[in-house]
C-alpha cells in the first residue's frame, strides 16, 4: 500500500479486465478505519492490520463485489455498506450491515451520495477530512480515462438508453462539491485519482456531461 494523504492509503493495482485497473482506498480514522471499494490482494489486506484494521467497508456499486469481502469481514469484523437497490447482489457475497437509501452524512464527516446510472445502486462518497481537504470517491459514475479526462461510466450494452439521463442527473449533482481530490473505482489511465485546482472539477463535470449527452 502507498500513502497518498496523511489519512489515506491506496492498495496495489489490480487488473480485472484488459485495459481496466482498480484500487481500494483505506481512510484511517481514530474511531475506526474505512475501506472504500475492494481489493482481492491478501498482502494488502494483511498490511491493513498494521494500519489499524478495517472497521467499515463501503462499496460504490455491485461491480466491486468479490470473495475478499468475506475475508476482510472475517479478518477484522468489518461492517459492510452498500445501496439498498443492490442488496440482493451484495447478499450473495456477504451480509450488508449499512444500507444506503438517500443522501446522508455518516460519522459526522462522510457524505453518502446515491448516484444511479452506471448501476441502480451506484453511490459516491465525499469525505471531509480532518486535514481540511475533501476527498470525492466517484465509483464508476465518473472514471479517469487514459487521456486523464473524467468520463461518465455509461457503457452501451451494459446500460440501457434510459440510464443515460439518469446518469446525467447524478453527475450534475456532483458538480458543486468542490473536491480537492477525486478518486474513481476503475480507471484506464496512469492513476485512478487526481488533485483538483479550484474550479477544475466543474470543468471536468461539464465536459463529461457534454460527451454523455452529445
Q: Can you give the pLDDT at residue 148?
A: 85
Residue 29 has pLDDT above 80, yes or no: yes
Q: Can you give the pLDDT at residue 20?
A: 83
Query: Which phi and psi (to 5°) does residue 154 adopt?
Result: -95, 120
Q: Which residues contact 70 (CB under 8 A, 6 or more apart)?
A: 93, 94
Residue located via cell numbers 474513481: 184
- Grid coordinates representing 163 are 440510464
Q: Can you give the pLDDT at residue 146?
A: 86
Domains in the chain (CATH in brackets) are: 2-213 (3.60.15.10)
Residue 17 has pLDDT above 80, yes or no: no
Kindly indicate the confidence band of residue 158, based on its pLDDT and cuts at 50, 70 and 90: confident
Q: Can you give the pLDDT at residue 10?
A: 97
pLDDT in tens, 87-145: 999 988 888 999 999 999 999 999 999 999 999 999 999 999 999 999 999 999 999 99
Give me the mean pLDDT over the 137-160 stretch: 90
CA 134 to CA 164: how far, in whole Å? 27
- Grid coordinates representing 39 are 481489493
**DSSP notation for 149-183:** -EEE---BTTB-HHHHHHHHHHHHTTTT---SEEE
Amino acid at each position: 500500500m502507498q500513502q497518498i494523504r496523511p489519512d489515506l492509503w491506496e492498495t496495489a493495482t489490480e487488473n480485472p479486465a484488459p485495459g481496466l485497473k482498480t484500487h481500494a482506498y483505506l481512510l484511517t480514522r481514530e474511531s475506526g478505519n474505512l475501506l472504500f471499494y475492494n481489493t482481492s490482494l491478501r498482502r494488502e489486506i494483511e498490511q491493513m492490520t498494521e494500519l489499524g484494521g478495517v472497521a467499515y467497508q463501503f462499496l460504490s456499486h455491485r461491480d466491486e463485489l468479490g470473495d475478499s469481502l468475506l475475508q476482510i469481514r472475517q479478518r477484522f469484523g468489518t461492517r459492510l455498506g452498500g445501496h439498498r437497490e443492490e442488496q440482493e447482489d451484495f447478499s450473495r457475497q456477504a451480509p450488508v450491515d449499512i444500507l444506503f437509501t438517500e443522501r446522508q452524512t455518516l460519522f459526522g464527516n462522510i457524505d453518502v451520495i446515491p448516484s444511479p446510472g452506471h448501476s441502480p445502486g451506484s453511490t459516491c462518497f465525499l469525505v471531509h477530512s480532518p486535514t481540511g481537504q475533501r476527498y470525492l470517491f466517484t465509483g464508476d459514475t465518473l472514471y479517469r480515462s487514459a487521456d486523464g479526462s473524467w468520463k461518465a461510466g455509461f457503457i452501451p450494452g451494459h446500460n440501457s438508453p434510459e440510464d443515460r439521463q439518469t446518469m446525467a442527473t447524478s453527475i450534475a449533482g456532483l458538480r458543486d462539491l468542490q473536491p480537492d481530490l477525486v478518486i474513481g473505482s476503475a480507471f484506464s489511465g496512469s492513476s485512478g485519482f487526481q488533485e483538483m485546482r479550484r474550479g477544475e472539477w466543474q470543468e471536468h463535470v461539464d465536459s463529461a456531461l457534454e460527451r454523455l449527452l452529445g
